[in-house]
Amino acid sequence: MRDRLSRRGFLGLTAGAALLAGCGTGTATTSSGSPGGGSGGRLRAVFAGGGATEVLDPHLANLFNEAARAKALYDKLADLGPDVSPQPRLAEKWEPNADFTVWRITLRQAHFHDGRPVRARDVLASYARIADPGRTFRAKSSLALIDLPGSRAVGDRTVEFRLKRPFAEFPNVLAAFGTYIVPEGTTDFSEPVGSGPFSFVSWKPGSSVLLKRNPDHWDGAPYIEELEFLIANEESARINALLGGQVEYAHDLSPASARQYEGRVTVVRAPNSAMQAFAMKTDRAPFDDRDLREALFLLTDRQQLVDAVMPGAGQIGNDLFGKGYLHYAEDIPQRTFDLDRAKALIRKAGAEGLTVELTTSTAAAGFVEAATVFAGQLRAAGLKAVIASGSKDTYWADILTKGSIASFRSGAMPIETHIAQRLLSASTTNATRWARPEFDALYETAVSARDAADREAAYLKMQQMLHAEGGLLVWGFADWIVATSPKVSGVQAAPANTLDWARFDKVRLG
């Protein structure tokens, strides 16, 4: 049998490598409440999933249900807090050297489900597995800057990571999506053994995973006795199952369902979760013209888009990723609708009557609706808008190279990660083809300057550039919506991929 390779599809709405944007240094410790006995009971949670071809290997986690299960069974060294900044998890603290090239990580006292302690060697082995050049694990690129042969275990509970270049945001890497710590030498994940708040009981591929409370979890034992993950790809089936009492937690609901059933079920909305945008390619006609890009920023009626696509479950955006996250440029004024200036800029760019082909697909909820509304706004400004609907299965690969403007969205990740993956000359998933040497240099400053003020200034400068003439027209941020039965409490309104999202160890039943 072929080794399991794979990574599967879209994280629903989010594009998700979640890392986090840290302040660099930091020796924080988490609060670890340790509830005594659990309130008991089985919580059944339904997610969309990959069907019979799903996997339990946490390093292959790609879909939300896989990420949620991985988080229940395993721990990472760090994870993302409410503002998408790195919070220590298995790492008790991290200390860089002066130039951010060597990081000393102290592990907390934790145990795997089979009783073995979590050691520095397990951390190095897990990272080596993810970074294996022969494999294609999702987090491989996140770990690429670690010089693994040069890194070492100092005793059982200290890891010394040597980096290939200075990187002040290294804790983001420790929290990167899929960087779970597994026991050294693990190759078979059919009965997973981790250090997480729940341990494995049974698995029926494509339908259910049953876990039970880990009474010895370092961050306090869960309140619930058992946790069952179920799969339903249709949103209507998830809300129906909740209404019919077949589950207690339904993940990823539409704004329409949330409004319709609020009251019968408890709706939890996490703001600033999914960025909604149109990606303009800055390296080709017509959007290589900065005036035309600015015209599009100005002709966008953001509130109309929010009201049409996510009524009551979103906010307008300011053409910048990461609203409310660490390093976000709050002080750049909100761009407002200005049709006259937009028309003047279109004239200046010589683009009156230009045909714009807007690429979209059903790859994410609301894409086609948003594209339809936006096409109307383009027409109102004197452009001809044509909607080109593509294959949902291959959408993200298609828009990377093809077309000139496309529907785009992203889940939560640190702003640093967003820039590194999508906006540098060497970024491999740069859908706007934004490539500026001076921008690349600012990024270098942001992640390696010794003075925190210099780093913060570089973040601001980059965002000013993107706001003025970038290729990403960020019109809104959708809430992340989950719903629970009224007897469930303790569900946090946290963006998907952050620590408090799908955190079933802190949930109570009854």
Binding site for other proteins (CB under 8 A): 1-11, 14-17, 44, 46, 50-55, 62, 135-136, 138, 140-141, 204-208, 228, 230-234, 236-237, 240-241, 243-247, 391, 393-394, 396-398, 400, 428-429
Which one, 103 or 261, has the nearer CB to other proteins?
Answer: 261
The C-alpha atoms of residue 421 and residue 72 are separated, in whole angstroms, by 27
Contact between residue 151 and residue 98 where contact means Cβ atoms under 8 Å apart: no
Query: With respect to other proteins, which residue has the nearer C-beta, 106 or 208?
Result: 208
CB of residue 474 to other proteins, shortest distance in Å: 17
Rounded Cα distance between 19 and 11, Å, is 15
Which single residue is written with the structure tokens 């592990």?
Answer: 107
Contact criterion met (CB below 8 Å) for 19 and 176: yes
State in angstroms the smallest separation of the CB of 252 from other proteins. 15
Separation of alpha carbons 115 and 238, rounded Å: 36
**Distance (Å, rounded) from C-alpha 223 to C-alpha 213?**
8
Strands 102-107 and 355-360: unpaired
Q: Maximum CA pair distance of the chain?
A: 70
Provide, rounded to whole angstroms, the least separation between the CB of residue 5 and other proteins. Answer: 5
User: Shortest approach of other proteins to residue 81 CB, angstroms?
Assistant: 23
Closer residue to other proteins in complex, CB, 2/185 = 2
Residue 9 or 82: the one with the smaller Cβ distance to other proteins is 9
Instruction: Write out the two tokens for 301.
Output: 């009626």
C-alpha torsion angle, residues 64, 69, 70, 73 (rounded to 10) = 160
Report DSSP letters for 121-172, one per residue: HHHHHHHHHHH-TT---GGGTTTTTB-TTT-EE-SSSEEEEEBSS--TTHHH
Distance CA 31, CA 218 (A): 11
Residue 63 near residue 11, CB atoms below 8 Å: yes
Shorter beta-carbon distance to other proteins: residue 342 or 371:
371
Residue closer to other proteins by CB (options 9, 220) is 9
Q: Which is nearer to other proteins, 1 or 98 (CB)?
A: 1
Q: Minimum distance between the CB of residue 154 and other proteins, rounded to whole angstroms?
A: 33
CA distance 100 to 452: 12
- State the nearest-atom distance from the C-beta of 248 to other proteins, in Å: 12
- CB 228 within 8 Å of CB 209: yes
CA distance 156 to 120: 5
Judging by DSSP bridges, how do beta strands 355-360 and 405-410 pair with one another? parallel
| Min separation Cβ 50 and other proteins, Å | 7
Give 144 or 468: the residue with its C-beta nearer to other proteins.
144
For the CB of residue 57, give the shortest distance to other proteins in the complex, in Å.
9
User: Where would I find the beta strands (DSSP E) of 362-468?
Assistant: 384-389, 405-410
Range list of H helices, 263-405: 290-299, 302-309, 339-348, 367-380, 395-401
For the bound state, the minimum distance from the C-beta of residue 239 to other proteins, rounded and expressed in Å, comes to 9
Q: How far is the CB of 46 from other proteins (least distance, A)?
A: 6
Alpha carbons 439 and 437: distance in angstroms, whole number: 5
In whole angstroms, the minimum distance from the beta carbon of 156 to other proteins comes to 33
Pick 101 or 362: Cβ nearer other proteins: 362
190 vs 336 by CB, closer to other proteins = 190
Of 50 and 314, which CB lies nearer to other proteins in the complex structure? 50
